[in-house]
Amino acid sequence: MVRDPRKKRLEKTKQQEQKGPSMAQKAVNFAKASAKHVSSGLKSVSEETKNIRLAICNTCPHKVGEENNPTCNKCGCFLNIKTGWASQACPIGKWGTGEKTAAKKTKRSGGCGCGKKKT
Ligand code: SF4
């Protein structure tokens, strides 16, 4: 029986997406996000914007983990931290940087620097 290698690759990619990033990738993503936060002057968003971002994440199928310490399965970031940093954006464009809470329409994900493309 010959199996289509493209189909096999696609299945593997889907499985990896469901598992989320590895611990090593999460560490890299967090380091990039932290560097971006520091280089942007450690700016935070208002409590209102953070709550709007968290509300968006609460409806997202990529939100995983405990209710009081959720993480994003796309980038692996801790949402309670990520949603408070002005330099951060959702890796799939559900919310933008700064006080922008609307979807960001750019080619790059921006976000935490994880490099995930919009799906
Ligand atoms: S950051 Fe974006 S992808 Fe991640 S849980 Fe929130 S809305 Fe979903």
Q: Is the dihedral of CA 80, 81, 86, 91 positive or negative?
A: negative
**Pocket of ligand 1, candidates 49, 58, 81, 92: which has the most ligand atoms within 8 Å of its Cβ, to mutate?**
92
Q: Are 114 and 108 in contact (CB under 8 A)?
A: no
Transcribe 44-97 into DSSP letters.
B--HHHHHHHHHHHHT-TTEEEETTEEEETTT--BHHHHTTBTT---TTSSS-S
pLDDT in tens, 86-99: 999 999 999 999 88
pLDDT in tens, 3-12: 788 888 888 7
Q: Would you state the pLDDT for residue 99?
A: 84
pLDDT in tens, 24-55: 998 999 899 999 999 999 999 999 999 999 99
Q: What predicted TM-score, i.e. pTM, was given to this entire model?
A: 0.76
Ligand 1 atom nearest to 70, measured from its CA:
5
Between residues 17 and 109, the one the model is more confident about: 17
Q: Are 83 and 57 in contact (CB under 8 A)?
A: yes
The alpha carbon of 83 and the centre of ligand 1 are apart by a number of angstroms equal to 9
Is the pLDDT assigned to residue 106 strictly greater than 50? Answer: no
The alpha carbon of 45 and the centre of ligand 1 are apart by a number of angstroms equal to 17
Ligand 1 atom nearest to 83, measured from its CA:
1
Q: Are 89 and 105 in contact (CB under 8 A)?
A: no
Ligand 1 shell residues, CB under 6 Å: 56-57, 60, 62-63, 72, 74, 90-92, 94
Atom 1 of ligand 1, residue of closest alpha carbon: 90
